[in-house]
Structure 1
Amino acid sequence: MLRYRANLKGCSRQLRRDMTDAEQLLWSRLRRKQILGVQFYRQRPIGDYIVDFFAPKARLVVEVDGGQHFELENQRHDERRDLYLTGQGLDVMRFDNLQVLNEIDAVAEAIFQVVTKRLSD
């Protein structure tokens, strides 16, 4: 079981209430086990981080990045975060807001392909 800091629970609840348009659109494709019957959770604490979407069965994290993620300091933070998550045996997929909003079918297909691979490993 992946551990997390207990004080992140309230923050993750707030993030679930305040999802971006891109996160809401992707959630509409991930919720209710629509991809190969795999359960996804949104705004899930893992370690010191809160990930946008997490599928424990596939050991997959999906992140939807806004424009702030393209700033150098935030890129470094994302690299540290991804290293931690991959160190926990998780795959991390990143999409930017525009990809999700403009190419939702391609994003959903990419996630489907990774889930398929992770379940067969």
Structure 2
Amino acid sequence: MAKRKFIPYNPKLKEYARELRNNSTQAEIFLWIKLKGKQMYGYDFHRQKPIDNYILDFFCQELMLAIEVDGYSHQFLEIYNKDTIKEKRMNELGVSVLRFTDDQVSKDMQNVIKTIEFFIEEFEKHTPNPSQEGS
């Protein structure tokens, strides 16, 4: 079995992440319903996951995939710049980021899911399956 890559996190963010989980936006709840319980091709997603000095809306360690759901406030330059810095840091850690707006999740869930499925399919094409190595 392949070892999971260790990803650092700031333990001080655990309590805040719990608060965010308990106060999710409607769009986050809608997407969580589709991701939880390994419904997405059997991959285990977590919500409001502390990684490094950030909290990711959704994260799958096996895929090294973060999914961010951006509300209205993310249109403003200051928050947009913070999102850009956060995404750059995730990429440095080997984490890919898919970003959707609240409206996309609420009004076009089918295409949001298709985008996530496409990412997973591409990941599986280019990532050796440990259970099939050496066969």
Please classify the TM superposition score into its range, dividing by the shorter chain length. Answer: over 0.9
Partner of 1:21: 26
**1: CA distance, partners of 2:51 / 2:61:** 11
Q: Which has the higher contact order (CA 8 A, sep 6+)?
A: 1
How many residue pairs get aligned? The number is 121
What does residue range 2-13 of structure 1 map to in structure 2 within 5 Å?
A: 2-13=7-18
Residues 1:59 and 2:64 aligned together: yes
Q: TM-score, normalised by structure 2?
A: 0.88
Whether contact under 8 Å (1:2, 1:46) holds in the other structure is yes
- The Cα shift of 1:69 comes to 0.5
Partner of 2:87: 82
**2: CA distance, partners of 1:25 / 1:118:** 24
Q: Which runs of at least 4 in structure 1 moved beyond 4 Å after TM superposition? A: none
Residues 1:114 and 2:111 aligned together: no
- The Cα shift of 1:119 comes to 2.7
- The Cα shift of 1:117 comes to 1.3
Whether contact under 8 Å (1:60, 1:115) holds in the other structure is no
Q: Tell me, what secondary structure is at the counterpart of 2:11?
A: coil
Percent identity of equivalent pairs: 35
- The Cα shift of 1:115 comes to 1.5
Whether contact under 8 Å (1:44, 1:54) holds in the other structure is yes
Partner of 2:38: 33
Partner of 1:42: 47
Whether contact under 8 Å (1:59, 1:118) holds in the other structure is no
Give 5+ residue unaligned stretches, structure 2.
1-5, 127-135
Coordinate RMSD, CA, aligned? 0.7
